[in-house]
Structure 1
Amino acid sequence: MIVMKFGGSSVADAERIRHVALIVKEFLPRKPVLVLSAMGDTTDHLLEAADEALGGKVSIERIEGLHLAAIGALGLGEDVARTEILPLLEELKSLLIGISLIRELTGRTKDYLVSFGERLSVRVAAAYFRSIGVKSKALDAWDAGLRSDSNYTSAEVLDESYASIAAVIGPLVESGILPVVTGFIAKTADGHITTLGRGGSDLTATVIGAAAGAEEVQVWKDVDGILTADPRLVKDARPVSTVTYEEASELAYFGAQVLHPRSMQPCKRTSTPVRVKNSYNPAAPGTRIVSSLEAGALPVRAITSKKNVTLVDIVSSRMLGQHGFLARVFASFEERRLSVDMVATSEVSISLTLDAAHDLVALKRELEKIASVDIRKGKAIVTLIGDVSRSSEILETTFGVCARSGVQVQMVSQGASKVNISFIVDDDQAGEVVKALHAAFFA
């Protein structure tokens, strides 16, 4: 059994749903479970409808039009619209009328509202599969066994979900039925709908995969897996065949087309492989995310960069032998809710990086009570993701490339995860450094 997850762009309209069906049919011998997001921009349209309702206007025209048009274009007929779609649209309209009357949108109500996107999507898709001869059943996530806490808009999946999912999904798959499950949403024990926050649809897929003992969870996107570099910077960037969960988590932080780190945890716990594939190029093998790599892998799996960061140098002889100095420094960041990207320390100094959007005037004033503070804007983080046990080899090549390119490395940090080496250069040099490093490691 495998789990296949498709995002909103993959099921944006009738044409894309047909394309997804062609892909899924190729995998029917492997007994797939399908997890879908809302169609296209439905989630945005739902939130816009809520804003309008708060102003006293109730309209579901765009949402209704998109789904009824898809049903018509897929040749599903009026019966599907009447039994599968119109009841949900009526429920949605009633909710919006309620919002317009009380002029309030709580987190709980917002989750209920947003859930209509996924609930409509799976019903359209499942009906289409049945129309082409594939036995299929649309399932709201809670009917598949998924339960969450009541942290509305960013709920956590409860451990009790795993046994429930296995009990529901297993028999369906074994009886030759294709389950089509809503991503992103769940229910609390007392029946309130929740959403799972960022990466929620991917999380649904990995929870189902881990719970049901899937041989693989496939997450279908619009790129050929994880690439060795940003193709906008490096024209010959190529897909990485395999990475570890830790490497994928680091890459996700830097914007790679990969699962959110939170979404990988269920499969990481059960060592269930995750594969990132391209719905526009189904024949491409994609990138497989696994627990560990075989011997002989390249020392660097991918190179990324993050521009427009600020480098902060904090220097004080008081650090020597003094307890609590670092705690006081980081307390200043905590008070201002500033998130630090990189950190490096010596006996008398701390260097760290922050997002350039932060206003650091008050922070500098506070820190200058205990240290000398130098703030330098216009910097970039260049990160090499790979096998840091080979850090000497990686750093030798990296510093050689930078020296030949006339680039000054201003800070170096090796992550505790053992898969990340990052360094700081000037913003305007980052692109050329990434290109040169890519040529050195992947030539």
Structure 2
Amino acid sequence: VVLSAMGKTTNNLLLAGEKAVSCGATKASEINELAIIKKLHLRTIDELGLDSSIVSGFLDELEQLLKGVAMMKELTLRTRDYLVSFGECMSTRIFSAYLNKLGKKARQYDAFDLGFITTDDFTNADILEATYPAVAKRLHGDWIDDPAIPIVTGFLGKGWKSCAVTTLGRGGSDLTATTIGKALGLREIQVWKDVDGVLTCDPNIYANAVPVPYLTFDEAAELAYFGAQVLHPQSMRPAREGGIPVRVKNSYNRHAPGTVITKTRDMRKSILTSIVLKSNITMLDIVSTRMLGQYGFLAKVFSIFEDLGISVDSVATSEVSISLTLDPSKLWSRELIQQELDHVVEELEKIAVVHLLQHRSIISLIGNVQRSSLILEKAFNVLRRNGVNVQMISQGASKVNISLVVNDSEAKQCVQALHSAFFENGFLSEVEEADLAQNMAPVLVSSNGAINGN
């Protein structure tokens, strides 16, 4: 079992650290977020009938750490990782103690002591290959000596040079789980969320969204990159490499079958899997000022983004122009700010004419791109009826994704209309009937052996 921190503990720890930087050491113990963390964990222990000593030492150390931050008036990335580790360290100890109280023998592990070896990129560390044999050896050895359910802290690791606590970035607990799954060669990894698996669209946008029973890792990655919040694409990598299915289940509806993610699946009857909306993106139209056929133009454009540390979502190109999208709420780390966008435009204008278009959305149609003509025909008919013009389309690089760019103000209406057209109005039945009719079309064999459709 791999656990995250309880409730909003990670956010509260980060807020407490930021407040400690600007307050005096004497005020550190009065930070509101510290009080919230203490109250949540002590109340939980009390309600479960456990001994408060399970977390009291951590809470005391946390308060001392915040006082140290307040004295130094500095919160380094290394200290920040150590600070947020308290959440997982406490939640796993509480859970392990409760299982033991119920008579289910459990053993708590901190991932940084279990064998999770990472780079020293604090706040966003990568797991190193040495982790897999180290974790397998420790868990197998302990199980043979004294069988007990392992309860492991998600999200955490140990830097291979610094030996300090590191964190794995967004989706870190899922990544911990899939890493253990690969290390042990397990038959399945289950990720428990607050939804009935991966859905056909965001239920907050359209209430008629339904669970998708099966996905490939490629589809799951595209869903995550383009806005679905259920899984982080990095977290799927070990399971994909190990060929281990990942099942997404709902903690609040545990009898729901959920979504099973595997390397491949039968796509013969699949057309559209899910519709994902990513809002508040920025679109750039970049037109070369040089003559037609000038080589090196694309290289220059992307070197500018590399130099500025900005990633690109979708791209469409022609001989002398490029349209691309940037994600202001960056997937991996910080947010783009207006000054950065202005700087991008300033650099690009040295080699091109640039139009910056903000308040756009990407609608991603995740599905069987072998049926892309059918998907696009239906999608554009729906958008035309709704008076929506698509400003950019990207398809081909991904074998499971067609991305359309529209105005933010039209995006939710588009998702609702597309979901209704593809998933609710008998579209799949129509396609199946058409396919059947096509397969059963009579043929006429002429005297010279040529076959003609009739």
Question: Could you state the TM-score of these two structures normalised by the residue count of structure 1?
Answer: 0.84
Q: What is the match of residue 30 of structure 1?
A: none
Counterparts of 1:153 and 1:263 in 2: how far apart (Å)? 15
Percent sequence identity is 52
Equivalent position to 1:424, from 364, 389, 405:
405
The answer to whether the Cα contact below 8 Å between 2:267 and 2:368 also exists between their aligned partners in 1 is no
Counterparts of 2:65 and 2:56 in 1: how far apart (Å)? 14
The answer to whether the Cα contact below 8 Å between 2:293 and 2:320 also exists between their aligned partners in 1 is no
Q: Does 1:291 align with 2:245?
A: no
CA 1:355–1:208 in 2, change beyond 3 Å: closer, same or farther? closer
Q: What is the match of residue 230 of structure 1?
A: 202
Q: CA deviation at 1:426?
A: 3.0
Q: What is the match of residue 386 of structure 1?
A: 367
CA 1:101–1:246 in 2, change beyond 3 Å: closer, same or farther? same
CA 1:311–1:164 in 2, change beyond 3 Å: closer, same or farther? closer
Could you tell which deviates more after superposition, 304-313 or 138-147? 304-313
Q: How does 1:311-330 map onto structure 2 within 5 Å?
A: 311-316=283-288, 318=290, 320-330=292-302
Q: CA deviation at 1:399?
A: 2.3
Q: What is the match of residue 178 of structure 2?
A: 206
String of CA shifts for 1:207-249, please: whole Å, max 9, x gaps. Answer: 1111111211111111111110122332311011111111111
String of CA shifts for 1:163-219, please: whole Å, max 9, x gaps. Answer: 121122235556541111111112234632211122111111111111111211111
The answer to whether the Cα contact below 8 Å between 2:289 and 2:351 also exists between their aligned partners in 1 is no
Q: Does 1:67 align with 2:34?
A: no
Q: What is the match of residue 6 of structure 1?
A: none
Equivalent position to 2:395, from 414, 423, 437:
414
Q: What is the match of residue 13 of structure 1?
A: none
- Structure 2: runs of 5 or more not aligned: 329-336, 425-454
Q: What is the match of residue 122 of structure 1?
A: 92
The answer to whether the Cα contact below 8 Å between 1:111 and 1:153 also exists between their aligned partners in 2 is yes
Equivalent position to 2:61, from 91, 95, 113:
91
Could you tell which deviates more after superposition, 359-368 or 408-417? 359-368
What amino acid is aligned across from residue 96 of structure 1 in structure 2? Answer: L
Q: What is the match of residue 4 of structure 1?
A: none
Q: CA deviation at 1:99?
A: 3.0
Q: Does 1:259 align with 2:231?
A: yes
String of CA shifts for 1:389-424, please: whole Å, max 9, x gaps. Answer: 222222222223223333322221115231111112
> Using CA pairs below 8 Å that are at least 6 residues apart, which structure has the higher relative contact order?
1
Q: What is the match of residue 102 of structure 1?
A: 72
Q: What is the match of residue 309 of structure 1?
A: 281
What amino acid is aligned across from residue 10 of structure 2 in structure 1? Answer: T
Q: What is the match of residue 81 of structure 1?
A: 52
Q: CA deviation at 1:367?
A: 4.0
Q: How does 1:30-69 map onto structure 2 within 5 Å?
A: 34-54=1-21, 55=23, 56=25, 57-59=27-29, 60-69=34-43
Q: What is the match of residue 186 of structure 1?
A: 157
Q: CA deviation at 1:35?
A: 0.7
What amino acid is aligned across from residue 137 of structure 1 in structure 2? Answer: R
Counterparts of 2:174 and 2:118 in 1: how far apart (Å)? 15
Q: What is the match of residue 23 of structure 1?
A: none
Q: Does 1:155 align with 2:125?
A: yes
RMSD (Å) for aligned C-alpha atoms:
2.4
Could you tell which deviates more after superposition, 280-289 or 306-315? 306-315
The answer to whether the Cα contact below 8 Å between 1:252 and 1:259 also exists between their aligned partners in 2 is yes
Q: What is the match of residue 350 of structure 1?
A: 322
Q: What is the match of residue 419 of structure 2?
A: 438
Could you tell which deviates more after superposition, 265-274 or 250-259? 250-259
The answer to whether the Cα contact below 8 Å between 1:225 and 1:257 also exists between their aligned partners in 2 is no
Q: How does 1:387-406 map onto structure 2 within 5 Å?
A: 387-406=368-387
Q: CA deviation at 1:335?
A: 4.3
Please state whether the residue corresponding to 1:156 is helix, strand or coil. coil
The answer to whether the Cα contact below 8 Å between 1:172 and 1:179 also exists between their aligned partners in 2 is no
What amino acid is aligned across from residue 140 of structure 1 in structure 2? Answer: D
Q: CA deviation at 1:279?
A: 0.6
The answer to whether the Cα contact below 8 Å between 2:278 and 2:362 also exists between their aligned partners in 1 is yes
Q: Does 1:138 align with 2:112?
A: no
CA 1:94–1:388 in 2, change beyond 3 Å: closer, same or farther? same
Counterparts of 2:410 and 2:274 in 1: how far apart (Å)? 18
The answer to whether the Cα contact below 8 Å between 1:307 and 1:381 also exists between their aligned partners in 2 is yes
Counterparts of 1:157 and 1:241 in 2: how far apart (Å)? 30
What amino acid is aligned across from residue 296 of structure 1 in structure 2? Answer: R
Q: Which has the larger radius of gyration?
A: 2
Q: CA deviation at 1:269?
A: 0.5
String of CA shifts for 1:65-94, please: whole Å, max 9, x gaps. Answer: 322221111112xxx323x32333333344
What amino acid is aligned across from residue 244 of structure 2 in structure 1? Answer: T
Counterparts of 2:350 and 2:15 in 1: how far apart (Å)? 48
Q: How does 1:321-340 map onto structure 2 within 5 Å?
A: 321-340=293-312
Please state whether the residue corresponding to 1:58 is helix, strand or coil. helix
Counterparts of 1:58 and 1:367 in 2: how far apart (Å)? 46
What amino acid is aligned across from residue 427 of structure 1 in structure 2? Answer: D
Counterparts of 1:309 and 1:88 in 2: how far apart (Å)? 41
Could you tell which deviates more after superposition, 288-297 or 223-232? 288-297
Could you tell which deviates more after superposition, 306-315 or 263-272? 306-315
What amino acid is aligned across from residue 89 of structure 2 in structure 1? Answer: R
Please state whether the residue corresponding to 1:442 is helix, strand or coil. helix
Please state whether the residue corresponding to 1:352 is helix, strand or coil. strand
Q: What is the match of residue 242 of structure 1?
A: 214
